[in-house]
Amino acid sequence: MKIGLYLKELRLKNNLTTKQVEVKTGISNSYISLIERNKRKPSAEILSKLAKAYQVKAEDLLRLIGYLPPIIKTKYGFQQIPIYNIAAIKKPFLISENIEGYSPLPPGLESYSTKDFFAIRVKDKNMTCKRIEEGDILIIKKQSKIEKGAIALISLNNEITTKRVVKQDKHIILQSTDLEHLPILVKETDDFGIIGKVEWVIHKF
């Protein structure tokens, strides 16, 4: 079913006219008509407003049109999360064009929402360490802050890698878990950010 027809059915199900939807959302009734006739593709912002007016989850509409990756379940019922390709380093990389596959959410994490997690495949030796090898899949929990000593997926001057994050006084030190790479002191001039915490490693067999 096309998104326009589906949105029209939702509107009619809620006994709303396009004019009433305009009052609720601020979206002009003429533009709503164009969307329902599939003459215009609604933006993520417009879909979120319509979802609220039609009393449905915004995520469902965003997934339907492709703004969010679909939630997939395995035959055993495990929810799956997207595996993103970060070989070509660019920002942002968490976009649908970079999805190379899906991975089940590991045991113990099923109680979390899949939107809190994503996965990457280790394709660079710079990301390997004592327990992470090339070809492994890392399950990442999205968060911008991390506890001392945890392994994180970080961005440093447009390079995405995994490091153990250690905070000393006002300084941040990035450590590898092997002896091949020296610790890195994050400078004030560096473009540094924490993308998420490595919660699980699925090893390549």
Is the model's pTM score more than 0.85?
A: no
d(CA 194, CA 50): 33
d(CA 180, CA 125): 11
CATH code (residue 94): 2.10.109.10
Residues 28 and 104 occupy one common structural domain: no
Residues 79 and 30 occupy one common structural domain: no
Give the range of the structural domain holding residue 133, as residue numbers without chain letter.
Answer: 72-202
Q: Which amino acid is at 84?
A: Y
Which residue is associated with the tokens 């164009």? 34
Domain-ending residue, one of 32, 48, 65? 65
Residues 82 and 169 occupy one common structural domain: yes
pLDDT at 6: 84
Residues of the chain with pLDDT under 50: 72, 74-76, 88
Residues 50 and 97 occupy one common structural domain: no
Residues 97 and 197 occupy one common structural domain: yes
pLDDT at 74: 46
HSE, CB side, 13 Å, CA atoms: give it for residue 118: 23
163 near 176, Cβ under 8 Å? yes
Residues 6+ apart with CB under 8 A from 74: 80, 104
Backbone angles phi, psi at 103, to 5 degrees: -135, 140
